């Protein structure tokens, strides 16, 4: 899920899909209110109206699931086409090579692994790596490259991190705020988080705010934190990097 230049943003909250979900919910609520008010008799409601409402809610659930599948398919197609055009570089992230050795060797998670450059580095260092990405092209490229890498082709917007599993979690140039508490729960006591993303005041949906990442993981022991201006090749104002250790050992 990294772009050729290394950037990845979640599309889970695109306005058109949110509008669709809200529209479906409003229809179900309005229909439910109309039906109940039209049939005030409680026996009629229990025998006929409530089952009908259940059907309507079921149809809503089917519609929502369909919209979510469409969103995931659109996301996958977008990143597949980008990886076909440019699979990206092979060198691991600098912040990872600088701080990976803070973690005890064991299980590692590479969120939005892209072409697997960071997963391959961690496997070489002896970690058992879960590498997760939505792109079929990227995960097919990585699959089978190292027996210590478990490749998971999965929409991260609809994915849950296993609790208390990882000695190291890597999140490089990807942002999904929903994952923040899951990342903390996924770390074992003494586990290390290495996180890198972007700050841009004009693109809050895709970027962090100043000090947002620091506050999000303040319950961890912060080893390193830096916000700095991006170079001219980047699309965003600043990069932000954090290295932190989960307390508890």
Distances in whole angstroms, Cα of residue 132 to Cα of each of 33, 40, 72, 95, 155: 43, 52, 14, 19, 8
CA–CA gap between residue 2 and residue 96 (Å, rounded): 16
Query: Residue 116 in contact with residue 149, Cβ under 8 Å?
Result: yes
pLDDT of residue 73: 64
> What does 99-159 look like in DSSP terms, one character per residue?
HGGGSPSSEEEEET-TT-HHHHHHHHTT-EEEEEES-HHHHHHHTTS-TTEEEEE--GGG-
Place of tokens 């006591």: 189
CA–CA gap between residue 129 and residue 162 (Å, rounded): 13
Q: What is the pTM of this model?
A: 0.71
CA–CA gap between residue 123 and residue 145 (Å, rounded): 10
pLDDT tens digits, residue range 125-142? 999 999 999 898 989 999
pLDDT of residue 82: 79
Q: Which residues does the chain have with pLDDT short of 70? A: 1-73, 75-76, 79, 86-87, 203-204, 232-234, 249
pLDDT of residue 166: 98
Q: What's the angle, vertex CA 109, arms to CA 163 and CA 233, rounded to 5?
A: 135
pLDDT of residue 149: 97
pLDDT of residue 43: 53
- For residue 132, give both structure tokens: 């997760």
Query: Residue 103 in contact with residue 192, Cβ under 8 Å?
Result: yes
pLDDT of residue 10: 43
- For residue 70, give both structure tokens: 């469409």
CA–CA gap between residue 116 and residue 44 (Å, rounded): 60
Kindly provide the b/e burial profile for residues 69-92, where b requires at least 16 CB atoms within 10 angstroms of the residue's own CB: eebbeebbeebbebbeeebbeeeb
């Amino acid at each position: 899920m990294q772009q050729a230049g290394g950037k990845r943003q979640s599309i889970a909250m695109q306005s058109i899909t949110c509008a669709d979900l809200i529209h479906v919910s409003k229809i179900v609520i309005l229909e439910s209110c109309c039906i109940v008010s039209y049939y005030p008799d409680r026996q009629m409601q229990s025998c006929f109206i409530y089952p009908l409402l259940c059907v309507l809610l079921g149809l809503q659930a089917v519609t929502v699931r369909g919209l979510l599948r469409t969103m995931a398919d659109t996301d996958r197609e977008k990143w597949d086409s980008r990886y076909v055009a440019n699979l990206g570089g092979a060198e691991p992230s600098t912040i990872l090579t600088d701080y990976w050795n803070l973690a005890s060797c064991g299980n590692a998670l590479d969120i939005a692994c892209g072409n697997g450059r960071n997963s391959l580095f961690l496997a070489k260092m002896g970690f058992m790596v879960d590498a997760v990405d939505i792109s079929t092209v990227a995960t097919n490229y990585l699959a089978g490259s190292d027996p210590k890498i478990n490749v998971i082709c999965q929409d991260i917007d609809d994915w849950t991190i296993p609790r208390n599993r990882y000695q190291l979690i890597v999140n490089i140039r990807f942002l999904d705020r929903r994952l923040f508490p899951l990342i903390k729960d996924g770390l074992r006591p003494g586990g290390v988080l290495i996180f890198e993303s972007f700050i841009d005041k004009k693109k809050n949906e895709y970027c962090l705010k100043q000090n947002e990442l620091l506050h999000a993981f303040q319950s961890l022991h912060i080893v390193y934190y830096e916000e700095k201006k991006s170079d001219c090749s980047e699309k965003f104002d600043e990069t932000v990097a954090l290295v932190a250790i989960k307390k508890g050992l």
